[in-house]
Amino acid sequence: MRRKIAAGNWKMNGLTASLTELDTLAARFPKPGCDVLICPPATLIAPAKARAGSIAIGGQDCHTGVSGAHTGDVSAEMLADIGASHVIVGHSERRDDHGESSELIEAKAEAAWRAGLTAVICIGESLAQREAGETLDVLTEQLAQSTPDGATAANTVIAYEPVWAIGTGKVPTLAQIGEVHDALRGQLEARFGAEGTGIRLLYGGSVKPSNAAEIFAVSNVDGALVGGASLKADDFGGIISALEAA
């Protein structure tokens, strides 16, 4: 059985005072029935780790190199050094805002493994691609090109995020989510065999306490990568509880 994951991506949100939300979550879920991961801004990773309890802390991005003349960048080794256990790579906002290619994301995933981190590799289609009937073709290509050959159930999590659903309140139908997750599972198993069966698949895109339970009941959905709803303990706690019950 694949252990479920509730992952929260705080994006460029949060100051020191925001860690009180993490305190509330840690107190509410001292021994959660699923894995819980929070990825705060890099400025908060170290203090978050110090007070997270059973909640894992991760980064939102990493450079491919160990060190060097890369002003403003953070290496996977630096993230691991301050207590991170995971790092998100290939989020649609990195692909779009920073022009990151699937080949670069593959290199970032390898960098995460080099530092002992679990890579949370994101893939997703745009609204235009969805409406053109290209969803599965786009996702198949992104998954193939963004995931290195060494992917295992221990070092890799895949997050499917329909770009058009992130922060918009729009959510694909349950049938659409299931179609994508079943196809991704088949692709992972065909490429990685038993490891592909064990690699966890998260859904991301306007997941809220009100829709979490029905999404988690969909085939091959092993949890969620949550944006805005992860910023508040009450909202994210409701999602965690729904996943525990799934």
Strand-pair category, 118-123 with 86-89: parallel
Residues 189-200 as b/e (b if ≥16 CB within 10 A, e otherwise) read eeebeebbebbb
Could you tell me if 202 and 246 are in contact, meaning their C-beta atoms sit under 8 angstroms apart? no
Residue for token digits 């959510």? 171
Could you tell me if 237 and 6 are in contact, meaning their C-beta atoms sit under 8 angstroms apart? no
Q: Show which residues are catalytic.
A: 91, 161
20-to-14, 23, 37, 41 alpha-carbon distances in Å: 11, 5, 16, 15
Instruction: Compute the distance between CA of residue 62 and CA of residue 224 in angstroms, rounded to an integer.
Output: 21
